[in-house]
């Protein structure tokens, strides 16, 4: 599994957990925006996690 795929799965699961625990429906546009930003920021997130 690629790191990009893993990051996408983590972000997706996070949104699912927010929906199920907070009883909040995340609109599809917002979901796509958040997942897109995570993918764009992946390199910087990896650098932050390795410090």
Domain carrying residue 30:
3-49
| pLDDT at residue 50, as a whole number | 83
The string of pLDDT tens digits covering residues 1-51 is 688 888 889 999 999 999 999 988 999 999 999 999 998 998 898 888 887
Helices (H), ranges, 1-51 = 3-22, 28-40, 42-49
| pLDDT at residue 4, as a whole number | 86
Give this prediction's pTM. 0.76
| pLDDT at residue 48, as a whole number | 87
Q: Of 31, 24, 28, 30, nearest to 8 (Cα)?
A: 31
| pLDDT at residue 1, as a whole number | 66
| pLDDT at residue 23, as a whole number | 86
Q: How many domains does the chain have?
A: 1
């Amino acid at each position: 599994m690629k790191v990009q795929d893993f990051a996408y799965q983590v972000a997706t699961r996070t949104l699912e957990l927010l929906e199920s625990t907070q009883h909040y429906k995340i609109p599809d546009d917002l979901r796509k925006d958040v997942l897109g930003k995570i993918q764009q920021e992946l390199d910087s997130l990896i650098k932050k996690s390795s410090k």
